[in-house]
Amino acid sequence: MAKLGKTKLDSGWLAARSTEVEQTGIQLTTTHPPTSSSPPWMEAVVPGTVLGTLLKNKLVPDPFYGLENEAILDIADSGREYYTFWFFTTFQCKVSGNRHVDLNFRAVNYSAEVYVNGHKMVLPKGMFRRHSLDITDILYPDGNNLLAVIVHPPDHPGEIPPKGGQGGDHEIGKDVAAQYVEGWDWMTPIRDRNTGIWDEVSIYVIGPVTIGDPHLVSTFFDNYKRAYLHATIELENRNSWVADCTLTIQVTTELEEDTSLLEHFQTQHLSISANARTHYTFPPLFFYKPNLWWPNGMGKQFLYNVEITVDVKGHGESDSWEHQFGFRKIESTIDPATGGRLFKVNGQPVFIRGGNWILSDGLLRLSRKRYQTDIKFHADMNFNMIRCWGGGLAERPEFYQYCDIYGLLVWQEFWITGDCDGRGIPVSNPNGPLDHELFLLCARDTIKLLRNHPSLSLWVGGNEQTPPEDINTALQNDLKLHPYFQSSNKINEHLKDFSDPSQYLDGTRSYVQGSMWDGFANGQGDFTDGPYEIQNPEDFFKDDFYNYGFNPEVGSVGMPVAATIRATMPPEGWQIPLLRKNSDGSEEEVPNPIWKYHKYIGYSNQKVLDQIDLYGSAKDLDDFCEKAQLVNYIQYRALLEGWTSRMWTKYTGVLIWKTQNPWTGLRGQFYDHLHDQTAGFYGCRCAAEPIHVQLNLSTYNIEVVNTTSDELSGIAVEASVWDLDGKCPYYKVTEKLSVPAKRTQTIIEMKYPKSKNPKPVYFLLLKLFRILDSSILSRNLYWLHLKGGDYKLLEQYRTKKIPLKITSKIFIEGSKYKVQMLVKNTNKSPDSIKFSLKNHIVGIHENNCHNIISSEPERCTEENHKAGLFKRIYQCFAKEDNGLRTVETNGTDSGVAFFLHFSVHATKKDKKDGEETRILPVHYSDNYFSLVPGETMPVNISFEVPLGVTPRVTLRGWNYHTGHTIN
Per residue in 395-412, pLDDT tens? 999 999 999 999 999 999
Return the minimum-mean-pLDDT range out of 639-653, 729-743, 883-897.
Answer: 883-897
DSSP state of 583: T
> What's the whole-model pTM score?
0.94
Any bridge partners for residue 123, and if so which? 112
* pLDDT score recorded for residue 108: 98
Asked if residue 877 has pLDDT above 70, the reply is: no
* pLDDT score recorded for residue 658: 95
3-class DSSP string for 293-330: ECCCCCCCECCEEEEEEEEECCCEEEEEEEEEECECCE
* pLDDT score recorded for residue 587: 76
Return the number of other C-beta atoms located less than 10 Å from residue 878's C-beta: 11
In sequence order, the 6+-apart residues with CB closer than 8 A to the CB of 421 are 173, 428, 429, 430, 432, 462, 465, 467
Query: Contact 541/641 with Cβ under 8 angstroms?
Result: yes
Return the number of other C-beta atoms located less than 10 Å from residue 914's C-beta: 12
Pairing of strands 352-357, 385-388: parallel
* pLDDT score recorded for residue 492: 52
Asked if residue 390 has pLDDT above 50, the reply is: yes
Share of the chain above pLDDT 70, in %: 93
Pairing of strands 131-134, 42-43: unpaired
Condensed to tens digits (0 to 9), the pLDDT of residues 902-918 reads 999 998 777 676 678 99
Condensed to tens digits (0 to 9), the pLDDT of residues 918-955 reads 999 999 999 999 999 999 999 999 999 998 899 999 99
Query: Contact 204/196 with Cβ under 8 angstroms?
Result: no
Q: Which of 888, 668, 895 is nearest to 797 (CA)?
A: 895
Cα–Cα dist 691/675, whole Å: 27
What are 771-775's contacts with CB under 8 Å, separation 24+?
771/714, 771/715, 771/716, 771/736, 772/714, 773/855, 774/836, 774/837, 774/838, 775/842, 775/843, 775/844, 775/855
Residue of 910 and 51 predicted with greater confidence: 51
Using CA of residue 526, residue 530, residue 536, residue 537, what is the dihedral sign? Answer: positive
**Taking the C-alpha atoms of 278, 283, 284 and 285 in order, what is their torsion angle to the nearest 10 degrees?**
-120
Q: Which of 526, 418, 411 is nearest to 173 (CA)?
A: 418
Asked if residue 882 has pLDDT above 80, the reply is: no
Angle between helices 679-687 and 368-380 (to 10 degrees): 50
Res. 582 pLDDT band, cuts 50 70 90: confident
* pLDDT score recorded for residue 863: 38
Condensed to tens digits (0 to 9), the pLDDT of residues 16-25 reads 999 999 999 9
* pLDDT score recorded for residue 914: 65
Q: What share of the chain is helix, strand, coil (3-state, %, to 5)?
A: 20, 35, 45
Cα–Cα dist 393/49, whole Å: 14
Query: Contact 791/762 with Cβ under 8 angstroms?
Result: no
* pLDDT score recorded for residue 910: 73
Pairing of strands 385-388, 409-413: parallel
DSSP state of 615: G
Using CA of residue 930, residue 785, residue 961, residue 684, what is the dihedral sign? Answer: positive
In sequence order, the 6+-apart residues with CB closer than 8 A to the CB of 437 are none
Q: Is 741 helix (H, G, I), strand (E, B) or coil?
A: coil
Q: 803-818 burial, b if ≥16 CB within 10 A, otherwise e?
A: bbebbbbbeeeeeebe
In sequence order, the 6+-apart residues with CB closer than 8 A to the CB of 403 are 375, 386, 409, 410, 453, 455
What are 914-917's contacts with CB under 8 Å, separation 24+?
914/566, 916/563, 916/566, 916/567
Asked if residue 832 has pLDDT above 70, the reply is: no
Res. 462 pLDDT band, cuts 50 70 90: very high
Instruction: Measure the N-to-C terminal CA separation of the chain; round to a whole number of Å.
Output: 51
**Taking the C-alpha atoms of 777, 782, 786 and 792 in order, what is their torsion angle to the nearest 10 degrees?**
170
Q: Which of 131, 182, 130, 133 is nearest to 154 (CA)?
A: 182
Query: Contact 895/722 with Cβ under 8 angstroms?
Result: yes
Q: Which of 704, 651, 697, 649 is nearest to 353 (CA)?
A: 651
Using CA of residue 505, residue 508, residue 512, residue 515, what is the dihedral sign? Answer: negative
Burial of 491 (0-12, 13-18, 19+ CB in 10 A): middle
Backbone angles phi, psi at 537, to 5 degrees: -55, -35
Asked if residue 835 has pLDDT above 80, the reply is: no
Mean pLDDT (the chain) is 92
Any bridge partners for residue 900, and if so which? 929
CATH superfamily of 209-325: Immunoglobulins (2.60.40.10)
Asked if residue 839 has pLDDT above 80, the reply is: no
Task: Give, in order, the Cα–Cα distances in Å from 96 to each of 29, 180, 238, 311.
Answer: 22, 46, 15, 17
Share of the chain above pLDDT 90, in %: 84
Q: Is 373 helix (H, G, I), strand (E, B) or coil?
A: helix
Give the chain's largest Cα–Cα span. 93
Cα–Cα dist 395/356, whole Å: 13
Asked if residue 865 has pLDDT above 90, the reply is: no
* pLDDT score recorded for residue 11: 96
* pLDDT score recorded for residue 489: 59
Task: Give, in order, the Cα–Cα distances in Å from 439 to each of 128, 196, 477, 509.
Answer: 9, 19, 15, 20
Name the helix (H) or strand (E) containing 477: helix 469-478
* pLDDT score recorded for residue 754: 86
Name the helix (H) or strand (E) containing 25: helix 25-28
Query: Contact 173/468 with Cβ under 8 angstroms?
Result: no
* pLDDT score recorded for residue 859: 30
| 209-325 and 804-833+875-966 have identical folds | yes
* Domain ranges (residues) in the chain: 5-206, 209-325, 689-793, 804-833+875-966
CATH superfamily of 689-793: Immunoglobulins (2.60.40.10)
Backbone angles phi, psi at 461, to 5 degrees: -65, -40
Return the minimum-mean-pLDDT range out of 161-165, 245-249, 685-689, 870-874.
Answer: 870-874
Query: Contact 538/641 with Cβ under 8 angstroms?
Result: no
Cis previous bond, 47, omega within 30: yes
Q: What average pLDDT does this structure show over 36-54?
A: 96
Res. 42 pLDDT band, cuts 50 70 90: very high
Res. 214 pLDDT band, cuts 50 70 90: very high
Q: What average pLDDT does this structure show over 601-613?
A: 94
Q: Within 502-659, where are the H helices?
A: 562-568, 593-597, 621-645
Cα–Cα dist 707/297, whole Å: 8
Task: Give, in order, the Cα–Cα distances in Å from 21 to each of 32, 131, 193, 734.
Answer: 11, 25, 22, 78
Rg (CA), the chain: 29
Residue of 539 and 586 predicted with greater confidence: 539
Query: Contact 892/801 with Cβ under 8 angstroms?
Result: yes
DSSP state of 371: H
Angle between helices 397-406 and 368-380 (to 10 degrees): 30
Asked if residue 144 has pLDDT above 50, the reply is: yes
| Residues recognised as catalytic | 464, 553
What is the distance of C-alpha 628 from the center of its chain? 23
* pLDDT score recorded for residue 873: 39
Task: Tell me which CATH code domain 804-833+875-966 carries.
Answer: 2.60.40.10
* pLDDT score recorded for residue 666: 97
Condensed to tens digits (0 to 9), the pLDDT of residues 765-776 reads 999 999 999 999
Angle between helices 469-478 and 436-450 (to 10 degrees): 30
CATH superfamily of 5-206: Galactose-binding domain-like (2.60.120.260)
Q: What average pLDDT does this structure show over 380-392?
A: 98
Cα–Cα dist 478/262, whole Å: 35
Cα–Cα dist 818/812, whole Å: 6
Cα–Cα dist 502/460, whole Å: 21
Task: Give, in order, the Cα–Cα distances in Å from 322 to each of 74, 249, 552.
Answer: 42, 10, 34
Return the minimum-mean-pLDDT range out of 562-566, 620-624, 718-722, 828-832.
Answer: 828-832
